[in-house]
Amino acid sequence: MFKSVLIANRGEIACRIARTAHRMGLRVIAVYSEADAGALHVRMADEAHPIGPAPATQSYLVADKIIAAARAVGAECIHPGYGFLSENAGFAEACAAAGIVFVGPPPAAIRAMGLKDRAKAAMEKTGVPVVPGYHGELQEPKFLKEKAYEIGYPVLIKAVAGGGGKGMRRVERHADFDAALEGAMREASSSFGDERVLIEKYVTAPRHIEMQVFADAHGNAIHLNERDCSLQRRHQKVIEEAPAPGMSAELRAVMGQAAVAAAKAVGYRGAGTVEFIADGASGLRPDGFWFMEMNTRLQVEHPVTEAITGLDLVEWQLRVAAGEPLPLRQEQVKIGGHAVEGRLYAEDPSRGFLPSTGKLIALQWPSAEGVRIDTGVEAGGEVTPFYDPMIAKVIAHAPTRVEALDRLAGALERSVVVGPRSNVGFLAALCRAPDFRDGHFDTGFIDRHLDSLAPKAEGLDRAAVAAAAAMLLQAEGDTIARRNGDGPQSPWDIADAFQFSGHRRMTVPLAADGEAVNAEVDYSGGLAVTVGGETPASDASVISAGDGYYVLRRGRQTRVTRRDLAVPATHSKSDGAVTAPMHGKVLAVFVDEGAHVVRGQRLAIIEAMKMEHTLTAPVDGVVETIAAAANEQVAEGATIVVIKPEV
């Protein structure tokens, strides 16, 4: 077994690998960018080394820097985690050339499965069923559009080198194909340096089911059962579970055999995931699934497999990389209970799931039976726009699926995330959604039920603001009492709206999420607060932070501070102003000053946390100002385009 490992990654997966490596007695070496100098994975390591500026292209994606760090400290192996360089065959080869073991499959296997078109062709030769579509070399847009028409709509455009939903577009109509192809190719080029795509038929009631496979250098290959990853949004997984609801022993055996055959066909070694699309319209069946792709690395959702099998997949990776045989035979792999994982992201469901950045004011996790938290951040840390916005993975394990969903929902509802907005309430709502609990779902489930799952941006939550106002006034009163001590108090020092006659009432000016509001306070019968007629919400959690308070209620977060009347209240911009909805990078601006635009017309594209967001014209009018240029980094709220509305 190795004595040391360098983890070529960051965040929760780096922390996850470090925990197992420490348990196995390995010296753990971390690398970090300038943005991660104080990160949790750095402090967990035995030693850590800087590798460059915050952008991943200048740090975590620079193979030479990582290998140089490994050689400098004498690391015996490099674990790439997932993302970044984990599926980069050139990096695996560079590790070998430097005399360092790459904890992953051989470069040839990465290449064979790394490009979706080649992987599908290889699987067809192996006899593994493949989704109908086009995965050839010709990439001329007109030709691809013709192939889409031949396949029949709806179709999926998918990046050949892609993963994680990047470079993927679902197209319902022939007329929409050109714009979808343009966006998919641009996103694919940005994410993977390869703009090529394939076209495949979209299965109308798709279930996304994947098999965890493992192979060693001694010719052994097995599967560790399946995971269901059908709950997705924008083709990115949101909730994963194991085993898959509705999975029969017969289908598990057939799908498992296909997955193992796929791994053996490319000379695989280590941990991998073979992903299938299944037709769930009439229930899962052995003749209703097709190969989609193979991920040649550890998956984000691997904890649910660990929960039901009782195995440590990172330990297996390290042992296989060290030349040991697989610890178990196929018949020894068991399934115990049910496990569900929710991906907790820094994003705002009430604003179309826009990424949310900033300091984590408070972060508290529940301690409960069967609940596991995998995270790479702590309170006081920062969610930056440079990397994936995942805050944590919350995993629940129980004897049955219903119990596991209840445990996960309860854990999410007791989690406290303050600062950046998060999807914690949305995840809990998913766990409690009746159709999902009954097993009636596919990859389109979230889109179909979004109105009932995601909190709405329906204006200020005044009951939440009132709760913060009550705590603010109580805290100010306590401060005055402590200052005065036990001595005599002047009535003018008591914060209770004292006056010689009339009702003891006052108005307190507040700012709630930047909006000017007033709290009406009545001290006649004790402290009574209302905001816009709403009394303090009893189901709100109020957390003090610096000069104000954060209120968590029903999946929403509201920040409340005292408003200084000497400072003019902020006003919303004119209807023609288009601002950045989050921190990010301007990829393109499609209009010029003086151009006439119509409401809904595409103006610009901003990229944040690996996802593209299109900005459109809010009104008909003429472009008066363009305040940002392509490749420029912009802050949330920054003006991008100003349109002079038509009168």
Query: Annotated active-site positions, please?
Result: 297
Residue 402: CB atoms within 10 A of its CB come to 12
DSSP tag of 26? P
Instruction: Dig out the tokens for 202 from the structure.
Output: 């979209």
Radius of gyration of the chain, Cα coordinates, nearest whole angstrom? 27
C-alpha 49/C-alpha 268 separation (Å) is: 31
Alpha helices in 394-444 (DSSP H): 401-414, 424-432, 434-437
Amino acid at 217: A
Q: Specify the residue for token string 């015996």.
A: 76
Q: Which two tokens stand for residue 293?
A: 């792709």
571: Cβ contacts below 8 Å, ≥ 6 apart: none
Q: Are the C-beta atoms of 602 and 614 separated by less than 8 Å?
A: yes
Edge-to-edge strand ranges of the sheet holding 27-32: 47-50, 27-32, 4-7, 77-79, 101-102
In the block, tokens 């598990």 appear at: 252
Beta strands in 329-410 (DSSP E): 338-345, 347-348, 354-355, 358-359, 362-364, 371-375, 382-383, 390-398
CB-based contact 5:21 (threshold 8 Å): yes
38 vs 232: CA distance, rounded Å: 32
* Structure tokens that stand for 40 in this block: 């949790």
- Cis? peptide before 245, omega within 30° of 0: no
* DSSP code, position 495: T
Distance separating the N- and C-terminal Cα atoms of the chain = 75
- Half-sphere exposure of residue 383, counting CA atoms within 13 Å on the CB side? 31
Q: At what angle do helices 89-97 and 107-114 cross, to 10 degrees?
A: 170
- Dist CA 41 CA 392 (whole Å): 13
SS3 of the chain: helix, strand, coil, percent, to 5: 30, 30, 40
Neighbours of 19 (CB within 10 A): 14
Q: Compute the distance between CA of residue 270 and CA of residue 386 in angstroms, rounded to an integer.
A: 29
